[in-house]
Amino acid sequence: MLELEFMRLAFGAGIVVGLLAPAVGFFLVQRRLSLVGDGIGHVAFAGVALGYLLNLPLVLTALVVSVTGGLSIEWIRARRRTAGDQALALIFYTGIAGGVVLVSAAGALNVNLFQFLFGSILTVTRGDLAVIAALGACALVTIALLYRPLVAVVVDEEGARVAGLPVAALNALTVALAAVTIALSMRIVGILLIAALMVLPVIAASRIAWSMRSTILLGMGIGLGSVLAGITIAYYADLPPGGTTVLVAAATVLAAEFWSVVRG
Amino acid sequence: MPLALRLQRVSFAYGHAPPVLRDVDLEVERGEFVAIAGPNGGGKTTLVRLVVGLEEPTSGRVELLVRKVGYLPQRAQAGIDAPVTVRELVTTGRASRTRLVGPLSGADREAVRQAIDRVALTPQADRRLSTLSGGQQQRAFIAKALAAEPELLVLDEPTTGVDVEAQDAIAALLQRLRNELGMTILYVSHEFGAVERFVERIVLVRGSIVFDGPPSGLPDVWHDPSHAHA
């Protein structure tokens, strides 16, 4: 399997995505914003469509549009003019509708959009891997450096505000990291499934972890294991890797739930 | 004594609703232990949210004359589903005193350890918060506020859902903290019986301040009989 270059590239990208998605997802899940990943994923579709229209690198346009969409969700939510789910719905549907219109305008409706919606390891290029590795490493280092203030906001947002932490900036950073993760992951699990990889490993980890730190680290381990197992199973069983990866992650949630019940 | 905070003719309303507070004047000196009491909906929580800067007054002026504030919100609970240990919770309270980026320094770790020790939770420091009793959890949140080494400690209904014994323990803890650290304490509660014997002042809020004086000046009908020593 590893003698094939496309598999080596897929595993390389998968390792970055498997570690990054739960690390970012932890902060979304704990802020009860699990569906933000889904919303940004739909916005990323509009970014892919824009890339087709402007003939630009699709990862780049997806990245720019995802970050813009994510920050818009946070901006609307933070001002409390609209309930969080309504803000999400607005961006969610605008993104997917904008994507369809832009793809149509680009005359690319016959393009195989499936690869972006559900992932396709065959499409990962060396250039993609370089971008994914560089941006993924930057995102992980950012989380490591800002771990304490990010956690302080998650645990008690008002307390963090009173303490003088830059809460709005930290919240914006969280959704920006989510947007980067989604743009980087669309080749591996697809923009419709990436949110699952951000959320499911964290849920599984929280069932068996003993602290916040262990929740994040276990989540990253489960995310990494899910991606590696998903790609491997998909290769040998001729299954779609994105869906297979998410099913493996879902199975870990069931296993962790079972373990926590047995443990008592 | 210099002042810790001053409110001058402060009024506040949520949106276009009738005002919750009208023309409130309040001065608190540094080192004072003040209970803010009153009926539910009377504006106690709004008053302290104005003090800590979470709300802006509709009119009037709020002056906070100390730099570091520790705040324990109403029904404090870790806003997360993941397991969180006492030490992790208290460490988040230290965030305002440390540099934003990077790991905790040795001095910060020591401050966290001392905060946990002050609330007598050292044996439980690495246990999950969810495994502790209600009173112990509240003490952990007080330690979180203490980790910032605040000059002003604001506690909003810190004994809600806690039995009378634990309420008394928390009140005694606050009295000890005030004596040892000299911090100013604002203690908001509709059941202030536990702190009546410790505070110098009780401020009763019902849309405006209807009583401000020593507990001994309170009419008998307002004393809380659930605390036998009161």
Q: Kindly list the residues from chain A whose CB atom is less than 8 angstroms away from the CB atom of residue B80.
A: 30, 154-155, 212
Query: Cα–Cα distance between A67 and A167 in angstroms, integer?
Result: 18
B64/A contact by beta carbon, under 8 A: no
pLDDT in tens, A231-241: 999 889 988 88
Token pair listed for B204:
């009763």
B229: confidence class by pLDDT, cuts 50, 70, 90:
very low
B153/A contact by beta carbon, under 8 A: no
Q: What is the pTM of this model?
A: 0.84
> Residue B77 has what pLDDT?
65
Most confident segment among A41-55, A74-88, B52-66, B212-226: B52-66
Q: Kindly list the residues from chain A whose CB atom is less than 8 angstroms away from the CB atom of residue B81.
A: 29-30, 206
pLDDT surpasses 60 at B227:
no
pLDDT surpasses 80 at A78:
no
Chain A, nearest residue to B156 by Cα: A159
φ, ψ at B205 (rounded to 5°):
-115, 125
Find the mean pLDDT for residues B193-200.
74
Lowest mean pLDDT among A88-92, A173-177, B104-108: A88-92
B146/A contact by beta carbon, under 8 A: no
- Please give the residue that has the higher pLDDT: either B31 or A188: B31
B75/A contact by beta carbon, under 8 A: no
Beta bridge partners of A158: none
B14/A contact by beta carbon, under 8 A: no
Name residues whose C-beta falls within 8 Å of residue B135's C-beta, 6 or more positions apart in sequence. Answer: B162, B163, B165, B166, B167, B169, B170
pLDDT in tens, A91-142: 788 888 888 888 788 776 666 667 777 777 777 888 888 888 999 999 999 9
Chain A, nearest residue to B155 by Cα: A159
pLDDT in tens, A22-62: 999 999 888 877 778 888 888 888 888 888 888 888 888 88
DSSP one-letter code for B93: T
Residues 187-246 of A with CB under 8 A from B: 202, 205-206, 209-215
Chain mean pLDDT for chain A:
86
CB atoms within 10 A of CB A9: 20
Report the gap between the CA of A261 and the closest CA in chain B (Å): 16
For residue B187, CA distances in Å to A11, A51, A107, B171, B226 come to 56, 57, 66, 9, 18
pLDDT surpasses 50 at B60:
yes
Decide: B182 and B16 in contact? Cβ < 8 Å.
Answer: no
> Residue B7 has what pLDDT?
93
> Residue A83 has what pLDDT?
59
Contact at CB, A157 and B79, closer than 8 angstroms? yes
Angle between helix axes A147-155 and A126-145 (nearest 10 degrees) is 70
